[in-house]
Structure 1
Amino acid sequence: MSTQGAVDPHSFHSFGEFYPFYLGEHSNRTCRRLHFVGSTLALVCFAVVLTTGSLQFLIYGLLCGYGFAWLGHFGFEKNKPASFKRPLYSFMGDWAMYRDIWLGRIPF
């Protein structure tokens, strides 16, 4: 269930306050899985940039990361990504959630 109607993302004063809100905006398992796939592909694209110097893969990485995430939000979670209002905290949340999925703290 989305919490965006009840909570203003601008009201958070720290990432620690924001992260529980962020997780609430990712309660749909398919949305989380799409985020995970997009983040993994973004990391692969970044590795390609580092190994080949081909900067076009930076664009591919952004498209993968945000494309999969937005598909999850608009198609499955039925909410707007928090990145529209809190881009830095949302970016940090993406990677914190990615880590927490790997560590088994959040169900994949």
Structure 2
Amino acid sequence: MNFRSFDEFWPFYVTQHSKPATRRWHFVGTLLSIMLFTYSVFFNRWFLLAVPFAGYGCAWYSHFFVEGNLPTTFGHPLWSLVCDYKMFGLMLTGKMDREMKRLGKRPILQAL
């Protein structure tokens, strides 16, 4: 799928994260990656190597074993990263459920 803007991509991203467990795994992965990044900056730079494994590991697990789709990172890596942080912020502030309702929950099939 081709997207011309972030505003077009965001609704697609949300539909690819329709199950609450998928969003929770993303939240955990993002939180872990933030914590590891912070630790690496202040204490041990070697922990930078663990940042992508924590973030992507949790997220990809949720797509393959919970949601049953391919991670959007494969087709749109930068927009997916930005969307992940947007979703993290919405979940942190308790606004993600409202965003899911606003956009609808019907998953969009992904082209391989």
Structure 2 residue corresponding to 1:58, chosen from 35, 48, 60: 48
Structure 1: segments with no counterpart, 5+ residues: 1-7
Distance in 1, matches of 2:79 and 2:85, equals: 10
Equivalent residue, structure 2, for 1:41: 32
* Structure 1 residue runs of 4 or more that deviate by more than 3 Å after TM superposition: none
Equivalent residue, structure 2, for 1:20: 11
Show CA shifts across 1:74-103 (max 9, x none).
000000001000000000110010011112
RMSD, matched Cα: 0.8
TM, length-normalised to structure 1: 0.86
Deviation at 1:55, TM superposition (A): 2.2
Structure 2: segments with no counterpart, 5+ residues: 98-112
Task: State, as a whole percentage, how many aligned pairs show the same letter.
Answer: 38
Structure 1 residue corresponding to 2:76, chosen from 86, 89, 92: 86
Show CA shifts across 1:6-32 (max 9, x none).
xx1xx2111111011000000011110
Deviation at 1:69, TM superposition (A): 0.1
Structure 1 residue corresponding to 2:23, chosen from 20, 24, 32: 32
Deviation at 1:64, TM superposition (A): 0.4
Deviation at 1:59, TM superposition (A): 1.5
Distance in 1, matches of 2:33 and 2:58, equals: 10
Distance in 1, matches of 2:74 and 2:8, equals: 18
